[in-house]
Amino acid sequence: MEYVEKGAWLQHRLSFPPPSHFIFEDEAEESQRQCETEQKEAIRALEVLASRVRGAHPEVYDTSGSFIINTRSVEETSENALACLEDLCKVLYEEEGLKGEQSEFLYTGFSHVLLPGVLENRRGVPLGLSVLVLSLARRLGLPVSGVPAFLSPVEPKNTIRSLAREISTVAPSAPPCILRVELPSQASVYFDPFNKGAKLTEDECRNIAAMSGLGEEGVAKTASPAQWYAAMARVMVQVHQRRGESDYVAHWVYQLLAIDPHAPEWTEMSI
């Protein structure tokens, strides 16, 4: 899942104004330094969190700090993976107080969306929390992946229409974002980063997907890089749309359309 974290750093960098936005060169350089500093601090924070998770069961990690997959005992590997997931959730939710943030974040900025802000404030929307959990799981070597059904747009229509005609003042509900641990000896375990890592069955995931207006067929699949990047772009569109920042809405819509040639937002381009 390295590509998810790479996408998060790109999302963070693109949230800063481009150099052409500034009149003075030193302002542009200062903005760039701030971006780099925030990313470096976030990476250090992730490494510290990973070290704390490993400390609970150090025997299941190799010398590089990566989870050991024992091919001779898939049952033991599955048990260890679930134990490590429990350790991860304990560190994040019990010790660090990580919490889900509702859709009101759209009016306050990016602190609950972008990975550095989620790490600093211990608050995040479903997508932001999922990116944090995946970034941490990657450092631990845990086989955690995203579920495509929960990265699809809940209300794909009218994104471009709203941009062209008016800015809605009603914040949409934050869609769920479910993750999955792929285990060698049993069915995959689903969990909800927004709900303190609560475990879910596949049927429960399908029901959530159906109730949220998302496609059930994507529950048992693994989300692709393009699906993650498109989801990151969509949440940025929502942030700027609700803040009335039409130029930035257009910027992220263009990013979204470039990422996904099959995005439903393309249907609005005839306007």
Q: What is the 3-state secondary structure (H, E, C) of 62-109?
A: CCCCCECCCCCCHHHHHHHHHHHHHHHHHHHHHHCCCEECCHHHHHCC
Q: In this structure, which amino acid lies at residue 13?
A: R
In this structure, what token pair is assigned to residue 9?
């750093």
Read off φ and ψ for residue 123, nearest 5 degrees.
-135, 145
Gap between the Cα atoms of 116 and 133, Å rounded = 13
Residue bearing the bigger pLDDT, 158 or 220: 220
Judged by phi (left if over 0) then psi (alpha if -120 to 50, else beta), residue 9 lies in alpha
Q: In this structure, which amino acid lies at residue 39?
A: Q
Q: What is the side-by-side order of every strand in the sheet holding 198-200? A: 144-146, 179-181, 189-192, 198-200
Query: Could you tell me the pLDDT band of residue 76, with boundaries at 50, 70 and 90?
Result: confident
pLDDT in tens, 98-116: 998 876 555 567 888 999 9
The pLDDT value given to residue 93? 97
In this structure, what token pair is assigned to residue 213?
């207006």
Residue bearing the bigger pLDDT, 74 or 135: 135
The pLDDT value given to residue 174? 56
User: Which residue shows structure tokens 């692709």?
Assistant: 224
